[in-house]
Structure 1
Amino acid sequence: MEILASRMLIRPAGYPESVEFYRDRIGLAVAREYGGGTVFYAGQSLIELAAHGGPSAGGSLWLQVRDVYATETELTGRGVTIARSAAEEPWGLHEMHVVDPDGVTLIFVQVPDAHPLRRDTRD
């Protein structure tokens, strides 16, 4: 399996307070904002604060793959328990969840060709 990109995904209990903390107190630059969250630059990685879903201490690791369905098959073949099978989400991404031994959720994500994350915003 080839990992194309990754980010730390945090679902805070207080979304507005967390945005203010990372943006204004820590001083991270905003990479993008969308209806349900804010993504910040963090060196060669990203930190995403998601306003949707229940709060989760410790966050999740977002791992972009080319084909999440093939990744599910590969990981199942290696004996990995799939916490949530690959499926298309309402926001257009295809996601699958695996939980590591310490309870950290690994979210494997496939970004479809027509998804806004693939849009070239240059004029």
Structure 2
Amino acid sequence: MEILASRMLLRPADYQRSLRFYRDELGLAIARDYGGGTVFFAGQSLIELAGHGTPNAGGSLWLQVRDVYETQKELTARGVPIAREARQEPWGLHEMHVVDPDGVQLIFVQVPEDHPLRRDTRELAK
């Protein structure tokens, strides 16, 4: 199986409320607005907010940022409630949690320079 692209699809209970959250509060750039929904850029992935279908929100979004502490300051300045403040986890990543209007957990992650996720796997093959 070959996966060409991926995105997180959310069907919120209140589309307009969630649209304001992702567009205005988080400040995500819009990739496409197709009338029945909006697709946002999220790093190397996409988040599609569908204004149609049965509301079905859940799960978590893992969003890598350059500096989670600066991201926390930016979101706090925009009035976004921080569910769990940024801190370094036992596994080495720096994480902060925010919850969207439908209860979806957004995990903002900073990967330190020396973390294994930054390892060049080509070096391991030698």
Interval of TM-score (by shorter of Structure 1 and Structure 2): 0.5 to 0.7
Unpaired stretches in structure 1, ≥5 consecutive residues? 1-26, 30-41, 48-56
Shift of 1:46: 8.1
Larger radius of gyration: 2
1:27-106 to 2 correspondences below 5 Å: 43-45=4-6, 58-106=58-106
**2:71 aligns to what SS in structure 1?**
helix
Shift of 1:45: 3.9
> TM-score normalised to the size of structure 2?
0.54
CA distance, structure 2, for counterparts of residue 108 and residue 44 of structure 1:
21
Shift of 1:90: 0.6
Q: Deviations over 1:31-57 (max 9, x none)?
A: xxxxxxxxxxx543489xxxxxxxxx8
Q: Paired residue for 1:120?
A: 120
**1:86 aligns to what SS in structure 2?**
strand
**2:121 aligns to what SS in structure 1?**
coil
Shift of 1:59: 1.2
**Which letter maps to 1:121?**
T
Report the CA distance shift for 1:45/1:113 in structure 2 as closer, same or farther (over 3 A): farther
Q: Deviations over 1:42-101 (max 9, x none)?
A: 543489xxxxxxxxx821000000000000000000000000000000110000000000
Identity %: 75
Aligned length: 75
**2:95 aligns to what SS in structure 1?**
strand
CA distance, structure 2, for counterparts of residue 45 and residue 116 of structure 1:
23
**1:58 aligns to what SS in structure 2?**
coil
